[in-house]
Amino acid sequence: MKQKIFIKLFLSTFQLSACTFGGGFVIIPLMQKKFVDELHWIEEQEMMDLTAIAQSSPGAIAVNASILVGYHVAGMAGALITVLGTVLPPLIIISVISFFYAAFRDNAIVNMAMTGMLAGVAAVICDVVMKMGKSIFQKKRVLPIAVLSASFIAVRFMKINIILIILICAVIGAADTLYLGRKGGKTL
Amino acid sequence: MIYLELFWSFFQIGLFSIGGGYAAMPLIQSQVVDIHPWLTMSQFADIMTIAEMTPGPIAVNSATFVGIQVAGIPGAVIATSGCILPSCVVVMTLASIYYRFRELKMVQGVLAGIRPAVVAMIASAGITLVTMAFYGERVLPADLSEINVISVIIFAVGFFVLRKWKVNPIYVMLGAGAVGILHGIV
């Protein structure tokens, strides 16, 4: 019985990971469909909370979410299995590509496609930045906008180590939460 | 010890890329292009393009790619493990706190504090990629008129389509690749 659950967990995450292009949030609705609607292993509210944890933790959201689902369904062993299921498809695909990378890159057609696609990636990233930036400016609070501007200057022009910037901003976020909490104001 | 270096670099990438997907990009650039001489900027642009075209998280894709380039298949496995180990530890810890207290306010507060910085970093890495796409170099050349016009057009159309109709990025990538090939042949 337990073995059956492990196999199901592995196959489900493997499939989801193999079909999730672009990474990130795309996998959350897919997981919801699979584990909440189809298999009934997780309740809907719980899935939303798990999503919040996956987003609040470092690393890829897809990996984090699969750890949580595996852990929830079958403990530590379950988490190991779902991580494996999530990581294997990209590991295999990228390995195959990188073995042919040299030939791949020297191929004229591929080169043309890659040049075009680089402009496409640039557009996708600008779109992501616009979307994320908008949600920060919409809050109409001075602090996040000041942090955004200062971080940009620090990373772009002063070449300050980004890990240091993240740590400083984490402290600012914690202090802000305490301050807002004391004021009894609403959360961010 | 190349394996140890790989592991440590991707451990840091995994630990500090907070905020999903593209948040890992500036960290990867800093670790594998600036700090270690593992990839050139143009290889980095390639792997970002490949990562966007293939399934899976950007960080895992890059870990595999860089690992193989630097130390073969074992390198790929080690880099990928390094990249997901922080997730495993932090996610499990947070999950157990969550199941005990059902309270994540502080975590969310810290996250809200980091998010603007993440946007700034992605923006900065994005500007570098736009420069790569338009000029083939990571810094602007002296002569700004040597711009790749086709890339500018692909970028502009792609950006417009994404903003206006919120299409799936994979279609923008496919379209961009097709236009690149067409232009090369014609």
- Among B22, B91, B111, beta carbon nearest to A128: B22
Closest CB to A90 among B55, B108, B172 = B55
Q: Do B92 and A90 touch (CB under 8 A)?
A: no
Contacts of A87 in chain B (CB under 8 A): 56, 60, 80, 84
Does the beta carbon of B111 lie under 8 angstroms from any beta carbon of chain A? yes
pLDDT score for B83: 94
Which 8-state DSSP code applies to residue B106?
Answer: H
CA B128 to each of CA B23, B177, B179: distance values in angstroms, whole numbers, following the listed order: 15, 20, 22
Quick check: A169 pLDDT over 60?
Answer: yes
- Mutation target vs B (from A166, A168, A179, A186; most B CBs, 10 A cutoff): A166
The pLDDT of A137-159, averaged and rounded, is 91
Instruction: Out of A7-21, A46-60, B96-110, pick the least confident.
Output: B96-110
Residues in chain A: 188
pLDDT at A25: 64
**Could you list the mean pLDDT of each consecutive 10-residue stretch along chain B, which spans 186 residues?**
94 86 86 92 88 85 92 94 93 82 73 86 88 84 83 94 86 89 88
* Nearest-by-Cβ selection for B176 from A117, A126, A149: A117
- State the pLDDT confidence band at A24, using cuts at 50, 70 and 90: low
Q: Kindly write down the DSSP assignment for every residue of B17-58, as one continuous string.
A: -BSSGGGHHHHHHIIIIIISTTS-HHHHHHHHHHHHHSBS-H
d(CA B184, CA A46): 51
Interface contact B180-A112, CB threshold 8 A: yes
Q: Which of B114, B152, B157 to mutate to test the interface with A (most CBs of A within 10 A)?
A: B114
Is the minimum CB–CB distance between B181 and chain A shorter than 8 Å? yes
pLDDT number for residue A187: 46
Which member of A95, A117, A145 has the closest CB to residue B68? Answer: A95
Does A151 contact B88 at a Cβ distance shorter than 8 Å?
no
Looking at every residue in chain A, the average pLDDT score rounds to 86
Distance from CA of A4 to the nearest CA of B (A): 23
Phi, psi dihedral angles at A146 (to 5 degrees): -65, -40
DSSP A32-85: IIIIIIIS--S-HHHHHHHHHHHHHSBS-HHHHHHHHHHHHHHHHHHHHHHHHH
Selection from A188, A148, A118 nearest residue B110 by Cα:
A188
B16 touches chain A (CB under 8 A): yes
In sequence order, the 6+-apart residues with CB closer than 8 A to the CB of A140 are none
Residue A186, pLDDT > 60, answer no
The closest alpha carbon to B138, from B149, B152, B124, B150, belongs to B124
How far is B149 from B59, CA to CA, in rounded Å? 31
Q: Which residues pair with A58 in a beta bridge?
A: B18
Q: Are B148 and A174 a contacting pair at CB < 8 A?
A: no
Cα(B181)–Cα(B170) distance, integer angstroms: 17
Residue A22 binned pLDDT confidence (cut-offs 50, 70, 90)? low
User: For residues A186 and A176, what is the distance between their CA atoms, to the nearest angstrom?
Assistant: 12
Q: Does A48 touch chain B (CB under 8 A)?
A: no
- Is A149's CB within 8 Å of B120's CB? yes
CA dist A77 and A95 (Å) reads 26
8 Å CB contact of B162 and A123:
yes
Query: Counting Cβ atoms within 10 Å, is residue B142 exposed (0-12), middle (13-18) or buried (19+)?
Result: exposed
B29 min Cα distance to partner chain A (Å): 11
The residue extents of the domains of chain A are 2-99, 108-183
Give the least confident one: A54-58, A68-72, B41-45, B98-102: B98-102
Put simply, whether A115 touches B (Cβ < 8 Å) is yes
- Touching B: A residues 87-106, CB under 8 Å: 87, 89-91, 93-95, 97-99, 101, 105
Is residue B141 within 8 Å of B135, Cβ to Cβ? yes
| Higher-scoring residue by pLDDT: A138, B142 | A138
pLDDT of A41 > 70? The answer is: yes
Is the separation of the CB atoms in A148 and B119 below 8 Å? yes
